[in-house]
Chains A and B, each alone.
Chain A
């Protein structure tokens, strides 16, 4: 608890600073206000869960943090970089060198083996770990030469995590990483994420609508209706193994 406080005080340790962020989509003739002035921060090494029902704006927030989407107004600063002002090329570079992504549907390249799916990222990164090491971190050493079609859903998601962390990113963004998995497999995936966060100190933000997962986070950011309604701090973090849903 105290440890967290010191972090809050130290501005240099802030990974993301989000201020009055709004996002409006034009859906045909209707304007959809996905974000209506969100404020938040993400600190080095912490694990945050973004929790909210569908339509709450959590995916939009994550997409903007990840450089996949641009805000309508407001400010997003990554380290000392203003993402709201970044152009397409800068965003690509940002994604390439700083952010790791994990998707709900894994999005592996089906024509590449597990190792190659990781290599696809390490080949373009500045200071990556080896694909073998990354896969070892998620416990897939044995299955490195298998193609996605030969892996279970949980295994595929762990490959995706290995791929995401292999570039040694500052931040790991996960969009419903367990959404397509049963709970048992989901827990294995969460364990991998927890281990990365613990061992590498990578700041991790996980989107979910599953309240039960929130127990493993340092902080839980609740979203509803495009604003952050509540930020709660877990006094005691649960290990993924203790979660049930």
Chain B
């Protein structure tokens, strides 16, 4: 080993405190970067692979009933590559030990064979035996939620008839990666499942012998989706087709795409913030660290080392310092990526998660870190190296100082000399002070941006599930029902109050823009359901005309007063025109709202409802569930409290994990920055402070000079960090808006306090460490030499 290299290792050891802090900063930046990007890459790759391997369909159509022979006509449509008919039944399940109505969708599969399209991945067990009519394969998250196993039995109510079912397999399908009841706000694996059954058995139970009610298709590569969809609608129209749609409108795919879109946005923003912040800090920290080596550089040059040798030597030092951070950052990033991937896997049902670590992610992390560190180093190094060695070795001339601005305006007269030292130091190097403030405030802002997500989710939940909804549960009916059902429900023991609603699945069309969603018909002056805008003001539903969520209006490019075409996706499949009368700004969902009677008039369906909201006697809820299981008309119930739990446990879990990691990493960055700042200030000032010690200043008094300056910088940095954090959150809220939800720009005081607290604790701990060093200043040594 060359002597210079030996010096390298010793210097490293000597700087271990700083090296550790720098390592924390890089590790945090790189780990967050790697975690986000690899998780996103992995999920996307996995989805693509799963879709491809299991032949996920390109187009879908549901209809009332059509003879099997119709399939030939569908296959003949230009652009169709493969088509497969199915029987799909909405059923209610009765699962022993779980006394609430459970909904399920049963999908037929060819007898004893896997389906051609939307294949199923059998995790355990096998396909149903074609000779038996009661065997079913069930979806994996449903099996998990109820702890169901191969061989277990439960009952299904198909077309009003009870049928015992036996589980023969547990499976996953690209069609149900993310499962959600159409009317629900969040997935509920306990109350909604998917079952696969042999075609013959299901047809018999569902009266679909020789017929089908669902077709899935793949298209030729060059086919135009809209043309094919139109052709399909023409073919199935008279069989009660509900409108063919492409993947884009398939519910699992759509939810997944929306979530991926958000994830992708956050996986662009968060890593960028983190890697930028850590690069910035690295640059500042390295430049200050190298500055403390000024005399060593001169000495090396005096021995005859050239600028190049010195440059290489320090470049090595820098690379070594950041190597540990990079290595641990990449390792942690991969580890976090796996955890995050697993969390998402609990929501998105893929049979496997292929962890993808693209080389460019590592290269980018290494490049950004090394580049920013070297940039900070080389600049300082060049400044030090261009001085003649003799000059650099001579004791540094006293730095230039001026009377500070505060003193000039007369504020300085009464203050003590130590306070003057603080003020003048801060003013003399405004850039350094500014960089320190920016560094700490960036760390503080990053903390706020990380904590913001939880605040936003909490707030959305509060607005959506607490303030806007007051019912205990809602029930939905299989078919459109007369509003008289209201009176029947009111008669049930345990029901205290009832209001009805109607949901009409529609496609909103404005020119070439269209969006599939629902119109919700609400009772005027509802006591259970409120429309709140983002200011939490109650919005009155107009007695006629359509009200849209502002996000939907934006998607469709309509404004109040505009006419909108509605294609009804049920019953008569009529097309109507309606005027948009108002917009409501909401965080969740993309829905149209109408007055119930007005909606019924528009639909020409008399006084119909599709479900009801109930206020119930808490003690009788169990009994009510049993009643509803037995009521053929009721397809399912949604308990509001469950929706809240589900939202947190399923939908928000991944997001909350990554914000937790981001917050943790931001804490590390915070500490790394503050500590380094303190540590370097100590190196730069120790000589001056020891002189004061020799002159009779106590440890406390000299600590005041150094720590007072750090405290002042920290106190200035915190509000700046708040502003920075708010700005970051505003950007995140803007960038993350999706059809699923718009992120409200709500930052709780807890998040602000937490960020401030972390910075303050970091500062205090750093302060204590520096104080310890100040207490052990070698007064004799420091007076002898200039280092």
* Chain A interface residues toward B at CB < 8 A: 59, 63, 66, 68-69, 89, 92-93, 95-97, 99, 101, 103-105, 107-113, 116, 119-121, 123-125, 147-149, 156, 163, 167, 175, 180
Nearest 5 pairs of A and B residues by beta carbon: A96-B696, A148-B398, A107-B691, A110-B398, A111-B424
Contacts of B399 in A (CB 8 A): 110-111, 149
A93 CA / B698 CA spacing, docked (Å): 8
Given contacts A107-B687, A156-B398, A101 and B694 within 8 Å (CB-CB): yes
Extra pairs beyond A69-B780, A107-B688, A124-B701 (17, CB < 8 Å): A68-B779, A69-B779, A89-B698, A95-B693, A96-B696, A97-B696, A101-B694, A105-B395, A107-B694, A109-B691, A109-B692, A111-B424, A111-B428, A121-B695, A123-B416, A149-B399, A156-B398
A148 CA / B783 CA spacing, docked (Å): 17
Contact across chains for B420 and A107 when beta carbons are under 8 A apart: no
Contact across chains for A103 and B424 when beta carbons are under 8 A apart: no
Q: Tell me which residues from 391 to 424 in chain B have a Cβ below 8 Å from any Cβ of chain A.
A: 395, 397-403, 416-418, 420-421, 424
Contacts of A167 in B (CB 8 A): 696
B382 within 8 Å of A (CB atoms): no
B773 within 8 Å of A (CB atoms): no
For the complex formed, measure the closest distance between the CB of B25 and the CB atoms of chain A, giving whole angstroms.
29
Contacts of B784 in A (CB 8 A): 59
Given contacts A103-B691, A107-B783, A156-B398, A112 and B696 within 8 Å (CB-CB): no
> Could you list some 8 contacts between A and B, CB below 8 A?
A95-B694, A97-B696, A110-B398, A111-B399, A111-B401, A119-B417, A147-B400, A147-B401
B425 within 8 Å of A (CB atoms): yes
For the complex formed, measure the closest distance between the CB of A239 and the CB atoms of chain B, giving whole angstroms.
29
Given contacts A105-B786, A147-B400, A149-B401, A120 and B417 within 8 Å (CB-CB): yes
A97 CA / B698 CA spacing, docked (Å): 12
Contact across chains for A92 and B698 when beta carbons are under 8 A apart: yes
Contact across chains for B395 and A112 when beta carbons are under 8 A apart: no
* Chain B interface residues toward A at CB < 8 A: 395, 397-403, 416-418, 420-421, 424-425, 428, 687-688, 691-699, 701, 779-780, 783-784, 786
A12 CA / B422 CA spacing, docked (Å): 44
Contacts of B398 in A (CB 8 A): 108, 110, 147-149, 156
Contact across chains for B692 and A120 when beta carbons are under 8 A apart: yes
For the complex formed, measure the closest distance between the CB of B578 and the CB atoms of chain A, giving whole angstroms.
74
Q: Among the listed B402, B687, B695, which residue makes an inter-chain contact with A101, where contact means beta carbons less than 8 Å apart?
A: B695
Q: Which residue of B lies closest to A62 (CB)?
A: B780
Contact across chains for B780 and A68 when beta carbons are under 8 A apart: yes
A103 CA / B416 CA spacing, docked (Å): 24
A20 CA / B699 CA spacing, docked (Å): 31
Contact across chains for A109 and B416 when beta carbons are under 8 A apart: no
Q: Among the listed B421, B695, B786, which residue makes an inter-chain contact with A112, where contact means beta carbons less than 8 Å apart?
A: B421
Q: Which residue of B lies closest to A97 (CB)?
A: B696
A105 CA / B786 CA spacing, docked (Å): 9
Contact across chains for A95 and B695 when beta carbons are under 8 A apart: yes
Q: Among the listed A66, A97, A123, A147, which residue makes an inter-chain contact with B694, where contact means beta carbons less than 8 Å apart?
A: A66
Max count, chain A CB within 10 A of own CB: residue among B688, B696, B697, B699: B696
Contacts of B402 in A (CB 8 A): 147
For the complex formed, measure the closest distance between the CB of A68 and the CB atoms of chain B, giving whole angstroms.
5
Given contacts A68-B780, A124-B701, A111 and B421 within 8 Å (CB-CB): yes
Q: Which residue of B lies closest to A148 (CB)?
A: B398
A107 CA / B689 CA spacing, docked (Å): 10
For the complex formed, measure the closest distance between the CB of B477 and the CB atoms of chain A, giving whole angstroms.
81
A104 CA / B696 CA spacing, docked (Å): 18
For the complex formed, measure the closest distance between the CB of A151 and the CB atoms of chain B, giving whole angstroms.
8
Contact across chains for B695 and A163 when beta carbons are under 8 A apart: yes
Q: Which residue of A lies closest to B687 (CB)?
A: A107
For the complex formed, measure the closest distance between the CB of A42 and the CB atoms of chain B, giving whole angstroms.
19
Given contacts A95-B694, A119-B417, A147-B401, A105 and B783 within 8 Å (CB-CB): yes
Contact across chains for B425 and A111 when beta carbons are under 8 A apart: yes
A120 CA / B419 CA spacing, docked (Å): 10
For the complex formed, measure the closest distance between the CB of B419 and the CB atoms of chain A, giving whole angstroms.
11
Q: Which residue of B lies closest to A175 (CB)?
A: B783
Q: Which residue of A lies closest to B404 (CB)?
A: A111
Q: Which residue of A lies closest to B402 (CB)?
A: A147
A66 CA / B715 CA spacing, docked (Å): 38
For the complex formed, measure the closest distance between the CB of B341 and the CB atoms of chain A, giving whole angstroms.
52
Given contacts A107-B783, A111-B420, A123-B416, A149 and B397 within 8 Å (CB-CB): yes
Contacts of A163 in B (CB 8 A): 695
Q: Which residue of B lies closest to A68 (CB)?
A: B779
A97 CA / B779 CA spacing, docked (Å): 18
Given contacts A112-B420, A112-B421, A149-B399, A124 and B697 within 8 Å (CB-CB): yes
Contacts of B400 in A (CB 8 A): 147, 149
A108 CA / B692 CA spacing, docked (Å): 9
A51 CA / B210 CA spacing, docked (Å): 119
Contact across chains for A120 and B418 when beta carbons are under 8 A apart: yes
Contact across chains for A109 and B421 when beta carbons are under 8 A apart: yes
Contact across chains for A116 and B417 when beta carbons are under 8 A apart: yes
For the complex formed, measure the closest distance between the CB of A114 and the CB atoms of chain B, giving whole angstroms.
11
Contact across chains for A123 and B696 when beta carbons are under 8 A apart: no
A75 CA / B784 CA spacing, docked (Å): 25
For the complex formed, measure the closest distance between the CB of B390 and the CB atoms of chain A, giving whole angstroms.
15
Contacts of B691 in A (CB 8 A): 103, 107-109
Contact across chains for A110 and B688 when beta carbons are under 8 A apart: yes
Contacts of B693 in A (CB 8 A): 92, 95
A99 CA / B784 CA spacing, docked (Å): 19
Q: Which residue of B lies closest to A88 (CB)?
A: B699
A147 CA / B402 CA spacing, docked (Å): 8
Contacts of B687 in A (CB 8 A): 107
A174 CA / B42 CA spacing, docked (Å): 71
For the complex formed, measure the closest distance between the CB of B605 and the CB atoms of chain A, giving whole angstroms.
84
A95 CA / B691 CA spacing, docked (Å): 11
Contacts of A175 in B (CB 8 A): 783
Contact across chains for B779 and A92 when beta carbons are under 8 A apart: no
A168 CA / B399 CA spacing, docked (Å): 29
Contact across chains for A123 and B401 when beta carbons are under 8 A apart: no
For the complex formed, measure the closest distance between the CB of B398 and the CB atoms of chain A, giving whole angstroms.
4
Contacts of B397 in A (CB 8 A): 149
Q: Which residue of B lies closest to A115 (CB)?
A: B417
For the complex formed, measure the closest distance between the CB of B695 and the CB atoms of chain A, giving whole angstroms.
5
For the complex formed, measure the closest distance between the CB of B281 and the CB atoms of chain A, giving whole angstroms.
26
Contacts of A97 in B (CB 8 A): 696
Given contacts A147-B398, A147-B401, A109 and B694 within 8 Å (CB-CB): no
A112 CA / B418 CA spacing, docked (Å): 9
A180 CA / B786 CA spacing, docked (Å): 13
Contact across chains for B696 and A121 when beta carbons are under 8 A apart: yes
A102 CA / B731 CA spacing, docked (Å): 58
Contact across chains for B698 and A120 when beta carbons are under 8 A apart: no
Contacts of A89 in B (CB 8 A): 698
Contact across chains for A110 and B395 when beta carbons are under 8 A apart: no
Contact across chains for A112 and B417 when beta carbons are under 8 A apart: yes
A116 CA / B415 CA spacing, docked (Å): 11
Q: Among the listed A103, A124, A156, which residue makes an inter-chain contact with B783, where contact means beta carbons less than 8 Å apart?
A: A103
A110 CA / B397 CA spacing, docked (Å): 9
Max count, chain A CB within 10 A of own CB: residue among B402, B417, B428, B780: B417
Q: Among the listed B418, B421, B696, B786, which residue makes an inter-chain contact with A92, where contact means beta carbons less than 8 Å apart?
A: B696
Contacts of B783 in A (CB 8 A): 68, 103-105, 107, 175
Q: Which residue of B lies closest to A93 (CB)?
A: B696
Contacts of A107 in B (CB 8 A): 687-688, 691, 694, 783
